Amino acid sequence: MSDNYTPQPEHKFTFGLWTVGNTGRDPFGGPVREPKSPAELVRLLGEVGAYGVNFHDNDLIPIDATPTERDQILKEFRKALSDTGLVVPMATTNLFGDPVFKDGAFTANDPKVRAYALQKTMNAIDLGVELGAKIYVFWGGREGTETDASKNPVDAIKRNREAMNFLCEYALDKKYDLKFALEAKPNEPRADIYNPTTGHMLAFIATLDHPEMVGVNPEVAHEHMAGINFMHGVAQAWEAGKLFHIDLNDQYPGRYDQDLRFGSRDLKAAFFLVKFLEDVGYAGSRHFDAHAYRTEDYEGVKDFARGCMRTYLILKEKAAQFSADEEIQALLAEINADDGSMATYFGKYSAEKAIALKAQSFDRAAIANRGLKYERLDQLTIDLLLGAR
């Protein structure tokens, strides 16, 4: 049965192989689910109605696979894609799992590690493009420190920049139709990670040789770990033309990286995020970078995946309801009322404007006396979210 909450291809819901393939291992305990092959995971995603699947090079091809094993895995993966109709919109490199990356990849102090990271990424880009990826994510989970005695952060920034410039040139040289999306995270697995927030990433991108082909991949959990408003960061990326991809999940602030089901922790923040993405017409993947609770078997993993998409679609409906709600809209119109009397002072600077504005008198007390009705507006939003309107 199909309803408003049934995922459709146009919703662009995607999952990483590492998300539904997560076996529940954590720092305190081993796996609780048997691993599934990439092809099996594609079929699971097909069953729950996802549009696409993303992967790290080594989610698909183990780091030590032989060429024959590689061919066999790829054959089964392609077959599963064509049987289910799933596509591969994004790919990425695992630059954090292998012990060689214990001091980072592009920012490691050992030049052999830095060179190997570039080589591994070029190969992984080839693999991703071969399977159709148009977005390539860089999450530098190990690009950080435990002790700042080990590395000058300016060196780390320069090494990171050099690597990104090299890889942009590689993609251009190969004539790949590919854009890069940089994903920030403040900490974990390193004690501190460089470029810890989406805002830092945006500033870093502006310093690259090919900023036009590099954007961001903000993740809800990562900005919540930093205790900041995720939607504001997303909006800033969007306004700068840099929202190339998004990782949706949920997270309590101030804790380890929880990667909870989308909307399961802070529904109100999730609502304003969905509302933003839908209002501006964000056309990229809605990628769920989360995993099922460790308590679950694979039926629970499907419940988790279905839940992510269902919550998104319910919130999308709530966003439309917000825009159509007469009382809410009347309040917004009142709050944003503008009699035009100040228009002459805005826009581009001129000396005349500055003189006129300096001569203008303002009744501060009268202006400040006006109540802004945000309490009522917020409660109407809450009523709407709780189904009381």
- Joined together, the tokens standing for residue 353 give 């404007």
Residue 306 to residue 181: CA distance in whole angstroms:
26
Please report, as a single letter, which amino acid is at residue 203.
A
Q: Please pick, among 57, 59, 247, 266, the residue that the annotation labels catalytic.
A: 59
Residue 143 interacting entry, from Mn ion, ligand GLT, none, C-beta within 5 to 8 Å by type: none
Nearer to Mn ion by C-beta: 103 or 219?
Answer: 219
Please list, in sequence order, all residues whose beta carbon lies within 8 angstroms of the beta carbon of residue 214, skipping any fewer than 6 positions away. Answer: 164, 168, 179, 180, 181, 182, 205, 208, 242
Q: Is 20 exposed, middle or buried (0-12, 13-18, 19+ CB in 10 A)?
A: buried
Q: Please pick, among 3, 11, 26, 56, the residue that the annotation labels catalytic.
A: 56
143 binds ligand GLT (CB under 6 A): no
Please report, as a single letter, which amino acid is at residue 240.
A
Site for ligand GLT in 204-223 (CB under 6 A): 219
106 binds ligand GLT (CB under 6 A): no
Residue 82 to residue 85: CA distance in whole angstroms:
5
Site for ligand GLT in 296-315 (CB under 6 A): none
- Over its C-alpha atoms, the chain yields an Rg (Å, rounded) of 23
- Joined together, the tokens standing for residue 172 give 């251009």
Q: Is 369 exposed, middle or buried (0-12, 13-18, 19+ CB in 10 A)?
A: exposed
Tell the smallest beta-carbon distance from residue 99 to ligand GLT (Å).
Answer: 17
Residue 18 interacting entry, from ligand GLT, Mn ion, none, C-beta within 5 to 8 Å by type: ligand GLT
Residue 18 to residue 58: CA distance in whole angstroms:
10
- Concerning whether 59 is annotated as a catalytic residue, the answer is yes
**Residue in the structure block whose two tokens are 């696409």:** 52
Tell me whether the omega of the peptide bond preceding residue 111 falls within 30 degrees of 0, making it cis: no
* Whole-number Cα distances in Å, 164 to 77, 84, 170: 29, 34, 10
Nearer to ligand GLT by C-beta: 93 or 381?
Answer: 93
Nearer to Mn ion by C-beta: 14 or 107?
Answer: 14
**Of all residues in this chain, which one has the CB nearest to ligand GLT in the complex?**
139
Residue 57 interacting entry, from Mn ion, ligand GLT, none, C-beta within 5 to 8 Å by type: none
- Concerning whether 287 is annotated as a catalytic residue, the answer is no
Q: Which of 15, 18, 194, 204 binds ligand GLT (CB under 6 A)?
A: 18
Site for ligand GLT in 221-250 (CB under 6 A): 247
Nearer to ligand GLT by C-beta: 266 or 289?
Answer: 289
The residue ranges that bind Mn ion (CB under 5 A) are 219, 221, 247, 257, 259, 289
The 80-99 site mask, x for binding ligand GLT (CB under 6 A), equals ------------x-------
**Residue in the structure block whose two tokens are 């949706």:** 248
Tell the smallest beta-carbon distance from residue 278 to ligand GLT (Å).
Answer: 22
Which residues belong to the active site? Answer: 56, 59
Residue ranges in contact with ligand GLT by CB under 6 A? 18, 56, 92, 137, 139, 183, 219, 247, 257, 289
